[in-house]
Amino acid sequence: MAYSNSPLVGYTQISPNKTVPRNNKIDRITIHCTAGKVSVEALGAMFHEPSKKASSNYGIGPDGRVGMYVEEKDRAWCSSNGSNDHRAVNIEVASEAYHPYAVTDAAYEKLIVLVSDICKRNGITKLIWFGDKDRTLNYEPKNGEAVMTVHRWFDSKACPGDYLYNRHPEIASRVNTLLSSSTNDDKVIETGSAGMWSWRKWSSGVAECWGRKQHNGVNIVKPWGNVYFQVLDAPDNYPFAFAEYPSVNVTLQATHGNGWALNNYSTYSKNNPGNQYICNAVEIRGIDVTANYSVIGRWK
């Protein structure tokens, strides 16, 4: 079968810790917690070390950004079980470092969107959470089905933490709602543009906004550990308020130098994606930066 990777990915660092290719079609989703609020860059650096002997297909940072470390065509080394990893797409989600290993709203909302995207691209129309190890592992998914598994079933770990584990029924339900809306009579009922934003609303209740904001003469000079940063002004408010916190993906284009974006979660709302931090390993002065926004969530 032909495999593809998620278009939601904003950062890629392919790990050497993998098996090429996977030996089974994708019919499982395994969600993990990182036990620490690590960025997608930090997670990529860890998985890039051969000595770690660990990886995942995707990671979600506390700001909702998505990283890819092992392509979907290959098996990640993630759940302490080779059979599971050959069948599953493994997703690490940045979390608190202590029980119940809570994740941010931004990370949680992006998880729903990412799992839905994985299912759609792999022909999965129904995601199943049994909540029981034996029942799940003895179940052979039918065509168009996938089951959810967890790391704690294969090793003496708390992963994915009780915060995410207890939300698996909700995750399956919300993903199935999105999958159902994409295969039934869902249609675009409104499009428009206002200021920097363009948008479209779907009859299922999903809405998409996209736009860009220009920042000129940016100086990345404020020290932050071993890197430097600058705060970019927040963009205009969305043309409408989302009913729930939407998933926000931001990419930056600079006139020179390299940099990456981090969401300032304290300013994130249902009306605005909030401020962005632009970070770089060295000081850079006087660059022009374009922030490109892609937002998806529910309008009703």
Considering 183, 200, 234, which residue would you say is the last residue of a domain? 183
Query: Does 3 map to a domain?
Result: no
Question: Tell me, what DSSP letter sits at residue 265?
Answer: G
Range scoring the smallest mean pLDDT among 30-34, 106-110, 250-254: 250-254
202, 138: one domain: no
By CB neighbour count within 10 A (0-12 exposed, 13-18 middle, 19+ buried), where does 24 fall?
Answer: middle
What CATH number is associated with residue 240?
Answer: 2.60.40.3940
What is the per-residue pLDDT for 85?
Answer: 98
Residues 249, 160 share a domain: no
Q: Are residues 30 and 162 in the same domain?
A: yes
210 shares its domain with 88: no
Q: Say if residue 129 is in the same domain as residue 230.
A: no
Task: Round to whole Å and give the CA distance between 130 and 133.
Answer: 8
Q: Which residue has the higher pLDDT, 211 or 266?
A: 211
Final residue before a domain boundary, out of 149, 183, 217: 183
The residue ranking higher by pLDDT, 290 or 130, is 130
Q: Do 164 and 104 touch, CB atoms closer than 8 A?
A: no
Residues 136, 173, single domain; the answer is: yes
Q: Is residue 2 part of a domain?
A: no
220: confidence class by pLDDT, cuts 50, 70, 90: confident
pLDDT at residue number 264: 65
Is 118 contained in some domain? yes
Q: Tell me, yes or no, whether 1 lies in a domain.
A: no
How does the average pLDDT of the chain come out, rounded? 90
Do 174 and 228 lie in a common domain?
no
260 domain-assigned: yes
Q: What angle do CA 171, 56, 32 make, to 5 degrees?
A: 35
Residues 62 and 202 in one domain: no
The residue from 183, 204, 236 where one domain ends is 183
Specify whether 93 is located in the same domain as 173.
yes
The reply to whether 202 and 132 lie within a common domain is no
Higher pLDDT, 49 or 203: 49
pLDDT at 259 exceeding the cut of 70: no
Q: Which residues contact 193 (CB under 8 A, 6 or more apart)?
A: 199
Q: Which residues pair with 33 in a beta bridge?
A: 93
Residues 45 and 71 in one domain: yes
Each residue of 99-153: pLDDT tens digit? Answer: 999 999 889 989 999 999 999 999 999 999 999 999 999 999 999 999 999 999 9
**CATH assignment of the domain containing 142:** 3.40.80.10
pLDDT digits (tens, 9 = 90+) for 45-101: 999 999 999 999 999 999 889 999 999 999 999 999 999 999 999 999 999 999 999
- Are 100 and 118 members of one domain? yes
The answer to whether residue 214 sits within a structural domain is: yes
Give the structural domain span for 279: 188-298
Total number of domains in the chain: 2
